[in-house]
Chain A
Amino acid sequence: MTDHTEHRLAVIGAGVMGTNITALATGHGVPVVLVDVDDEKLAAARLTVRQKLKHAQLMGVLPDGRGRGELVTTTTLADIAGATTVIEAVTEVTEVKHKVLTEVGGLVAPGTLLISNTSCIPVDEMATWVPRGEELVGVHFMNPAYLIKMVEVIRGSGTGDATMERVTELLSALGREGLVVHDAPGFVINRLLHPLINRAAMLVQEGVASAEVVDGLLEGCLGHSTGPLRTADLIGVDNLVDSLVVLHERTGDPECAPCDLMLQLVRDGHHGRKTGRGFFDYRKAAE
């Protein structure tokens, strides 16, 4: 395992995954510069990261004897310049990722590891947006990133050997274990998971079963620890719809066209746990 003091992270995007990754890193003693577009969101993110660190400590998943990494929040993207690794964790919308990665590419020095926490957009597509595509690799952290040790590592066709070595070192310092896959829209996990969630939502929409019953069957009969619709609420229904659109555009797979129920939940502002309600109601309902 590499020494955690060798790493300085910049995380772009203070949403669900940005704060997850920040909690994971600072909990492992790695300093983080967390960037987002407004101070209000960053203030909320500091509280969220603190709660996530408490959750990580509660579950006993932080390393003993290692102090917390410093957290700096900023709205100035140029503050990422001193980072050894930049992790992009912005919305899964092609135009947004394109803009952010283009700007990041112009700010960081050669040799800086570039990671996209992409859900579905292929790494090869994003590699064309940065000056040194060989330094870009996809790392699909799970949610919550500080609890789930396994991550999906996506090697683009142009990702260099040195980049793969460095991402392995970083993941080791963060106590994560990566399985490497080749590049494709949605990679392995989301190419399987997103259509499953979409189909589960369609079954609810068609009145075949309630959300409780769909999840209950997959949990009770197939051994899923969390059913597809609770998983959707954890990911964020809005994020899922964005990712499904990306998948549908790139694969043509009709199973990836977001169903009406998911679109309606997004329109109604029921985005899952983060808004208190999605397929399930978290304001008063059971776990």
Chain B
Amino acid sequence: MTTVNPAADPKAVEAQLLAFLTERIKAPVEPADDLFRAGLVSSMFAMQLVVHLEDTYDIEIVGPELTLDHFRSVEAMTALVLRLSGKNDG
């Protein structure tokens, strides 16, 4: 039996994050959308995104990684998850 790391596949992470956001903010979201500029998420929800990524992908977001730019879009969050999971080899 093979165990798949949930953070191993960029496409899977992106799809999971899109599904999470679409459910939470009740609006369609594209991977490159600037969530803050579009007014889709508030400063309070930004922190919920931090907690969600930490809990879902078993990562810790601290220090210089903890900046709003890393949560600005699904693409940025996907890159952060892959980087902190050690899966971004490219």
Q: Which residues from chain A sit less than 8 Å from chain B, CB to CB?
A: 51, 54-55, 57-60, 144, 147, 226, 234, 286-287
Q: Which of B24, B47, B68, B71 has the most CB of A within 10 A?
A: B47
Residue of A with least CB distance to B54: A54
Q: How large is the interface on B (under 10, 10 to 19, 20 to 34, 35 or more residues)?
A: 10 to 19
Which chain B residues border A286 with CB–CB below 8 Å? 24-26
Question: Which of A54, A59, A147, A287 contacts B68, CB < 8 Å?
Answer: A59
B25 near A60 (CB under 8 angstroms)? Answer: no
| In the complex, B5 has a CB within 8 A of chain A | no
Q: Could you tell me if A54 and B66 are in contact, using CB atoms closer than 8 angstroms?
A: yes
Among residues 44 to 70 in chain B, which have CB atoms less than 8 Å away from a CB atom of chain A? 44-48, 50-51, 61-62, 66-68
B42: interface (CB < 8 Å): yes
Taking a contact as CB atoms under 8 Å apart, the answer to whether B50 and A287 are in contact is: no
Among candidates A57, A226, A234, residue contacting B66 with C-beta atoms closer than 8 Å: A57
B71 and A58 within 8 A (CB) = yes
Instruction: Choose among B25, B26, B42, B50 the residue that contacts A58 (Cβ–Cβ < 8 A).
Output: B50
| In the bound complex, CA of A226 to CA of B66 (Å) | 25
> Which of B24, B26, B47, B67 is A55 in contact with, Cβ under 8 Å?
B47
| Cα A147 to Cα B51 with chains together (Å) | 18
Question: In the bound complex, how far is the Cα of B51 from the Cα of A159, in angstroms?
Answer: 43
Q: Are A58 and B68 in contact (CB under 8 A)?
A: yes
CB <8 Å contact, A147 and B43: yes
